[in-house]
């Protein structure tokens, strides 16, 4: 039995993939009312058309779910991990994290949060993977990273379907930082869409975002090549261009003149890029590292800077060599 914590869109979709691979799943649903509805209809409350197989069971008792399962997939948004797991014992458990972001209050990555809770093993699964497409069995490729490559390969081999291919990696830091930053860059991509949807500008943004995420990752000793792979370029492209991107949607609505509080209040799911932009901004100040795109997104979100002013500031920055961040 494999646990999935969180029955939102991604938790629901990954439950389907795990069960389709021949595994029994225990899906934790926070609200008892929703759990009862799922037990009755066996249909996702977040993804239209997603039907849960009989291999998937539901529970609202987090302690019992964790005690019963050795492998736990976390789909709880990063800003709520500490609160949700505060009374749990993760000793002898393998955590596979699906959420992308950095905790605002501590600037910790998910791996740091879970390891402080005594998780015995940790892996992070990331890459270009809209839950809406995964639930429809559309071919998808992702990467799972663990400091112990054996753990990464073990998690990789849980999946045994022809529509969801998983690669393994040992770069947890790079995989987590790429996943966190791409959501911030997606807000910038949405702003471009809201201002006119310019192809030249979007292409430049994506390219320079790769440089920026690589620069931050190398400061924390991540593998430079991770940012060229599924967790980096792959996830960045789909989040900056796809119609399902919540963070791109936030940016587009900002450029169309909506207030951030109103945008977020009207969303059913969490846009992780909004709080993550605050965390990335704090890291840039703490580490004294220049992250121009992330900084401008932060100022638009939190300092009432207009999207037009943010773009203009980026275009008027000091001229630089293109690959000034390279390690060699």
CB 71 within 8 A of CB 146: no
**Paired strand residues for 57:** 26
Q: Which of 93, 100, 108, 182 is catalytic?
A: 182
Cα(202)–Cα(209) distance, integer angstroms: 10
Look up residue 294 and give its two tokens.
Answer: 């992330």
Phi-psi region of 304 (alpha: psi -120 to 50; beta: other; left: phi over 0): left
CA angle at 79 for the pair 128 and 30, rounded to the nearest 5°? 90
Cα(140)–Cα(128) distance, integer angstroms: 7
Burial class (CB in 10 A: 0-12, 13-18, 19+), 226: buried
Cα(310)–Cα(297) distance, integer angstroms: 7
Active-site annotation holds for 40: no
Cα(227)–Cα(216) distance, integer angstroms: 11
* Strand, helix or coil for residue 309: helix
Cα(140)–Cα(162) distance, integer angstroms: 9
DSSP assignment, residue 37?
Answer: H
Q: Active-site positions?
A: 182
């Amino acid at each position: 039995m494999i646990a999935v914590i969180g029955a939102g869109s991604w938790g629901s979709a990954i439950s389907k993939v795990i069960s389709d691979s021949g595994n029994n799943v225990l899906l934790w649903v926070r609200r008892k009312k929703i759990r009862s509805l799922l037990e009755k209809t066996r249909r996702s409350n977040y993804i239209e058309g997603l039907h849960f197989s009989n291999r998937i069971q539901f529970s609202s008792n987090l302690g019992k779910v964790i005690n019963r399962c050795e492998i736990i997939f976390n789909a709880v948004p990063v800003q709520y991990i500490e609160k949700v797991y505060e009374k749990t014992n993760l000793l002898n458990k393998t955590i596979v994290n699906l959420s992308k972001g950095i905790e605002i209050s501590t600037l910790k990555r998910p791996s740091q949060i879970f390891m402080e809770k005594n998780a015995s093993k940790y892996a992070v699964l990331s890459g270009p993977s809209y839950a809406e497409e995964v639930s429809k069995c559309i071919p998808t490729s992702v990467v799972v990273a663990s400091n112990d490559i054996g753990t990464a390969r073990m998690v990789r081999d849980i999946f045994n379907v022809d529509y969801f291919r998983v690669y393994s990696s040992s770069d947890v830091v790079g995989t987590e930082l790429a996943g966190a930053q791409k959501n911030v860059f997606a807000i910038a991509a949405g702003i471009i869409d809201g201002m006119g949807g310019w192809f030249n500008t979007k292409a430049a943004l994506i390219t320079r975002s790769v440089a920026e995420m690589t620069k931050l990752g190398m400061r924390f000793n991540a593998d430079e090549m991770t940012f060229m792979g599924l967790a980096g370029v792959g996830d960045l492209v789909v989040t900056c261009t796809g119609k399902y991107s919540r963070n791109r949607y936030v940016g587009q609505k900002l450029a169309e003149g909506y207030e951030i509080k109103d945008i977020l209040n009207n969303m059913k799911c969490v846009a992780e890029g909004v709080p993550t932009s605050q965390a990335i901004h704090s890291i840039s100040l703490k580490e004294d590292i220049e992250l121009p795109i992330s900084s401008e997104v932060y100022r638009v979100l939190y300092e009432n800077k207009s999207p037009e002013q943010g773009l203009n500031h980026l275009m008027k920055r000091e001229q630089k060599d293109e690959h000034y961040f390279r390690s060699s």
